[in-house]
Amino acid sequence: MHSITSFIKQVDQKKINTDGADSGQCTAIPHLWEKLNGWPIVKGNAKDTFTNAPTSSYKKVKNAADNFPPPGAIMVWGSSWGGGYGHTGVVVSANAHTFKAVEQNNGDHGLAHVVTHAHYNGVLGWFIHH
Protein backbone atom coordinates (compact mmCIF):
# COMPACT_ATOMS: atom_id res chain seq x y z
CA MET A 1 0.00 0.00 0.00
CA HIS A 2 1.15 3.52 -0.81
CA SER A 3 2.39 5.39 2.29
CA ILE A 4 -0.24 7.67 3.84
CA THR A 5 2.56 10.10 4.77
CA SER A 6 3.78 10.40 1.18
CA PHE A 7 0.15 10.69 -0.01
CA ILE A 8 -0.40 13.67 2.31
CA LYS A 9 2.77 15.34 0.99
CA GLN A 10 1.58 14.73 -2.59
CA VAL A 11 -1.87 16.28 -2.17
CA ASP A 12 -1.64 18.80 0.69
CA GLN A 13 -2.94 22.27 -0.23
CA LYS A 14 -3.64 21.24 -3.84
CA LYS A 15 -6.92 20.94 -5.73
CA ILE A 16 -7.02 17.28 -6.75
CA ASN A 17 -8.66 16.20 -10.00
CA THR A 18 -8.54 12.57 -11.11
CA ASP A 19 -11.07 12.37 -13.92
CA GLY A 20 -12.11 15.89 -14.93
CA ALA A 21 -15.45 15.62 -13.13
CA ASP A 22 -14.15 15.44 -9.55
CA SER A 23 -11.89 18.51 -9.54
CA GLY A 24 -12.00 19.99 -6.05
CA GLN A 25 -14.63 17.46 -4.94
CA CYS A 26 -14.15 15.24 -1.91
CA THR A 27 -14.32 12.06 -4.01
CA ALA A 28 -11.10 12.99 -5.83
CA ILE A 29 -9.05 12.16 -2.72
CA PRO A 30 -10.19 8.51 -2.43
CA HIS A 31 -10.09 8.15 -6.23
CA LEU A 32 -6.41 9.17 -6.27
CA TRP A 33 -5.64 6.93 -3.27
CA GLU A 34 -7.32 3.98 -5.04
CA LYS A 35 -5.51 4.77 -8.30
CA LEU A 36 -2.06 5.04 -6.66
CA ASN A 37 -2.59 1.68 -4.97
CA GLY A 38 -3.91 -0.06 -8.09
CA TRP A 39 -7.32 -0.66 -6.55
CA PRO A 40 -10.70 -0.37 -8.30
CA ILE A 41 -12.03 3.21 -8.38
CA VAL A 42 -15.31 3.41 -6.45
CA LYS A 43 -17.66 5.84 -8.23
CA GLY A 44 -20.81 7.65 -7.13
CA ASN A 45 -21.75 10.49 -4.84
CA ALA A 46 -19.67 10.36 -1.68
CA LYS A 47 -22.49 8.87 0.44
CA ASP A 48 -23.00 6.10 -2.12
CA THR A 49 -19.41 4.89 -2.25
CA PHE A 50 -19.85 2.75 0.87
CA THR A 51 -22.60 0.79 -0.91
CA ASN A 52 -20.84 0.92 -4.30
CA ALA A 53 -17.49 -0.47 -3.09
CA PRO A 54 -17.34 -4.03 -4.47
CA THR A 55 -16.98 -6.64 -1.73
CA SER A 56 -14.74 -8.62 -4.05
CA SER A 57 -12.09 -5.90 -3.56
CA TYR A 58 -13.04 -4.06 -0.37
CA LYS A 59 -13.92 -4.93 3.20
CA LYS A 60 -16.74 -2.66 4.41
CA VAL A 61 -17.17 -1.80 8.08
CA LYS A 62 -20.22 0.05 9.41
CA ASN A 63 -19.53 2.76 11.96
CA ALA A 64 -20.20 1.60 15.53
CA ALA A 65 -19.19 2.77 19.00
CA ASP A 66 -16.79 -0.15 19.46
CA ASN A 67 -14.69 0.13 16.28
CA PHE A 68 -12.52 2.56 14.34
CA PRO A 69 -10.79 2.52 10.95
CA PRO A 70 -7.14 1.79 10.19
CA PRO A 71 -4.92 4.27 8.34
CA GLY A 72 -5.61 4.14 4.61
CA ALA A 73 -9.29 3.25 4.98
CA ILE A 74 -11.74 5.29 2.94
CA MET A 75 -14.14 7.04 5.31
CA VAL A 76 -17.71 7.72 4.14
CA TRP A 77 -20.17 10.20 5.65
CA GLY A 78 -23.88 10.02 4.91
CA SER A 79 -26.34 12.56 3.56
CA SER A 80 -26.14 14.78 6.66
CA TRP A 81 -22.88 16.04 5.08
CA GLY A 82 -22.16 17.73 1.78
CA GLY A 83 -25.61 19.14 1.09
CA GLY A 84 -27.06 15.64 0.91
CA TYR A 85 -24.28 14.17 -1.26
CA GLY A 86 -22.24 12.95 1.71
CA HIS A 87 -18.51 13.28 2.17
CA THR A 88 -15.44 11.07 1.94
CA GLY A 89 -11.73 11.05 2.70
CA VAL A 90 -8.77 8.82 3.49
CA VAL A 91 -8.04 8.00 7.14
CA VAL A 92 -4.66 9.13 8.49
CA SER A 93 -5.14 7.95 12.09
CA ALA A 94 -8.05 7.05 14.37
CA ASN A 95 -9.14 5.88 17.77
CA ALA A 96 -12.58 5.16 19.21
CA HIS A 97 -13.36 8.85 19.71
CA THR A 98 -11.52 10.95 17.10
CA PHE A 99 -9.83 10.60 13.75
CA LYS A 100 -7.80 12.47 11.15
CA ALA A 101 -8.46 12.17 7.44
CA VAL A 102 -7.09 13.62 4.20
CA GLU A 103 -10.04 15.46 2.69
CA GLN A 104 -10.96 17.98 0.05
CA ASN A 105 -14.01 20.24 -0.21
CA ASN A 106 -14.32 20.50 3.57
CA GLY A 107 -13.23 24.08 4.19
CA ASP A 108 -9.81 25.33 3.05
CA HIS A 109 -11.26 26.63 -0.26
CA GLY A 110 -11.56 23.14 -1.76
CA LEU A 111 -7.89 22.30 -1.27
CA ALA A 112 -6.77 18.93 0.08
CA HIS A 113 -5.67 18.93 3.69
CA VAL A 114 -5.70 16.82 6.87
CA VAL A 115 -8.77 17.41 9.03
CA THR A 116 -9.10 16.38 12.67
CA HIS A 117 -12.59 15.21 13.63
CA ALA A 118 -13.61 15.21 17.29
CA HIS A 119 -16.39 12.64 16.70
CA TYR A 120 -17.84 10.18 14.20
CA ASN A 121 -21.17 11.97 13.78
CA GLY A 122 -22.60 11.33 10.33
CA VAL A 123 -20.07 8.62 9.42
CA LEU A 124 -21.71 5.64 7.71
CA GLY A 125 -18.56 3.53 7.79
CA TRP A 126 -15.35 2.87 5.87
CA PHE A 127 -13.88 0.45 3.42
CA ILE A 128 -10.37 -0.84 2.86
CA HIS A 129 -8.87 -2.97 0.14
CA HIS A 130 -8.30 -6.63 1.04
Q: Which fold has domain 4-129?
A: endopeptidase fold (from Nostoc punctiforme) (3.90.1720)
Kindly state the DSSP code that residue 72 receives in the 8-state scheme: T
Count Cβ atoms within 10 A of the Cβ of residue 55 and give its class: 0-12 exposed, 13-18 middle, 19 or more buried: exposed
Domains of the chain, by residue range, sit at 4-129
The total of other beta-carbon atoms located within 10 Å of residue 108's CB is 13
Is the pLDDT at 108 greater than 80, yes or no? Answer: no
Single-letter amino acid, residue 57: S
- Do 7 and 29 form a contact (C-beta atoms < 8 A)? no
CA 26 – CA 29 distance, rounded (Å): 6
- pLDDT tens digits along 66-84: 999 999 999 999 999 999 9
pLDDT at position 93, please? 98
CA 37 – CA 45 distance, rounded (Å): 21
Helices (H), the chain: 4-11, 28-37, 49-52
Is the pLDDT at 87 greater than 90, yes or no? Answer: yes
